[in-house]
Structure 1
Amino acid sequence: MPSSWKESGLRWYWVVVLVFIADQLSKQWILANFDLYESIKLLPVFNFTYVRNYGAAFSFLSDAGGWQRWLFTMVAVGFSTLLTVWLRKQSSGMWRLNLAYTLVIGGALGNLIDRLQHGFVVDFLDFYWNMSHFPAFNIADSAICIGAGLIIIDSFITESKPNGEDAAKG
């Protein structure tokens, strides 16, 4: 474990702050300027459309009666805490995992604030093709998905050890 937080993955926590602020500012802008289900076409395959998500990804458990709000709150707090502990234990040089963990934490906290403040998550990024729409999402969701993707990629990449450590073992 690194001897100080500056040498650990916690040094990357600025990404959490950046994701959280971008997510919350975008959602506040949507809430201030859109009515529920209002939509503005930006590209032939992309709209800003204000929708509410009472569930998790892709509206999973959205009609479960309200208990899911507290389940997803506990999951967000639990994962954010666990990833923060892992950040403290790893080197600041492990950029891919540090970036991944901080993206996931920032996204989880962004959606957590929505759940606690509104009882739902504000979604507004609406991609579609013809009449088929991908479920709307937000910046926090994007950060979580990119972070998860980086974690998966990192699991397949082996870093070479500096200056002959491999040769010394063989």
Structure 2
Amino acid sequence: MRNGWYSLRWYALAVLVIVLDQYTKLLAESDLDYGRPVEVFSWFNLTLQYNTGAAFSFLSDAGGWQRYFFSGVALLISVALVIWLYTMPRSDKLLAAALALILGGALGNLWDRLVLGHVVDFISVHYGGYYFPAFNIADAAISVGAALMIFDSLFGGQGRKQSKEELGTG
């Protein structure tokens, strides 16, 4: 059975990610000074940073064209994810959750790019002298969604594959 309007629950998850992402970015911009870390734990800081590039500041110094390029890519991916969620079978719950997390994260960062011209990052994790690039809730949702997709492709798809083979459609 196809998802159809049943997919609204997954769109709601995407909206929740967007709301949490934008709310935490608003808090970060109102309560943090740019570039000045606030230690939460010995390995975890809140540090307001602006990213004009992609993940991990890739192409952040490319001269401005990347804003439109990454916005276009995020928009195309988001449209594809909306369609995929609408048409996928109801049984693909883990994959649907993964896609919803990725969709919410992509749209959260897209909003920043279109409205602000950069993405607001504020979560900084480090150990010793190694600092992981700053990120935000949208980035975390995209990463968790990607991990769930990988997990689903390795382990979750077996039941779907077996069911299709039993039905003679796989």
- TM norm structure 2: 0.90
Which residue in the other structure is 2:74 paired with?
76
1:28 correspondence with 2:26: yes
Q: Which one has a larger percent helix, Structure 1 or Structure 2?
A: 2
How many angstroms does 1:2 deviate by?
2.3
Which residue in the other structure is 1:160 paired with?
159
Which 4+ residue blocks in structure 1 deviate beyond 6 angstroms? none
Which residue in the other structure is 1:88 paired with?
86
How many angstroms does 1:85 deviate by?
0.5
Measured in 2, the distance between the counterparts of 1:95 and 1:13 equals 13
Change (3 A) 1:61 1:168: closer
Task: Give SS of 2:45's match.
Answer: strand
Task: Give SS of 2:34's match.
Answer: coil
- TM norm structure 1: 0.90
Measured in 2, the distance between the counterparts of 1:81 and 1:168 equals 31
How many angstroms does 1:94 deviate by?
1.1
Instruction: Give unmatched runs, 5+ long, in structure 2.
Output: none
Measured in 1, the distance between the counterparts of 2:50 and 2:136 equals 11
Which residue in the other structure is 2:100 paired with?
102
1:4-153 alignment to 2 at 5 Å?
4-6=4-6, 9-153=7-151
Change (3 A) 1:135 1:99: same
Q: In the comparison of the two structures, how many residue pairs are matched? A: 167
Identity over aligned pairs, percent: 44
Instruction: Give unmatched runs, 5+ long, in structure 1.
Output: none
Contact preservation (8 Å) 2:13, 2:101: yes
How many angstroms does 1:92 deviate by?
2.7
Alignment root-mean-square deviation, CA: 2.1
How many angstroms does 1:160 deviate by?
2.6
Contact preservation (8 Å) 1:11, 1:92: no
Measured in 1, the distance between the counterparts of 2:72 and 2:39 equals 36
Measured in 1, the distance between the counterparts of 2:3 and 2:8 equals 12
